[in-house]
Amino acid sequence: MWRLAVLLALGWAVVLPPLFTRGACTAEFEAESRRIDADRAQLPDPDRAVDYWRRRAVPFHFVTNESCRRSRPRFVVECAGGPLVYARVPVRNEICRVYRDDSILVQMQYDSRNRLARTEVDMAPFKSLPIPFMRTAIDWAR
């Protein structure tokens, strides 16, 4: 009987932390998104984007248009006319890192003239459990 109680307590301890993030995961994602929007003037071409990520000490990848067409990264729907620079910004919050996503993906797509055409910031979405008959939901790792 005590083994069942220990097993239930361990199960509850595993499920409990993401229920009490108080929006920290989403806040961290939105902060990175706002930072990229604010720093957009520093990212007008791929060379400056590479310098930007080096200054921030964030791992990044530079993908040429030819390389993208040969072996497209799985998160890219369609290769544009120019290079792609993407980085994975590590998530600082440990609960978010374990239960939601360990990094925030930032993509910068450039056109054939090496001008910034599009930026995209992605993170795995949080999950919700709707409670029947109550019109409310429990957010997990929000």
Tell me the pLDDT tens digit for each residue of 61-111: 999 989 888 888 888 888 888 999 999 999 998 888 887 789 999 999 999
Structure tokens at 93: 């919050």
Q: Which domain holds residue 60?
A: 45-124
In a domain? residue 68: yes
- What pTM did the predictor assign? 0.80
Q: For residue 116, give the 3-state DSSP assignment.
A: strand
Task: Give the Cα separation of 125 and 50 in Å (integer).
Answer: 27
Q: How many domains does the chain have?
A: 1
In a domain? residue 90: yes
24-40: pLDDT as tens digits: 888 999 999 999 999 99
Task: Give the Cα separation of 75 and 102 in Å (integer).
Answer: 16
The sheet with strand 84-90 has its strands ordered as 60-63, 84-90, 103-110, 116-122
In a domain? residue 13: no
In a domain? residue 107: yes
CB 103 within 8 A of CB 90: yes
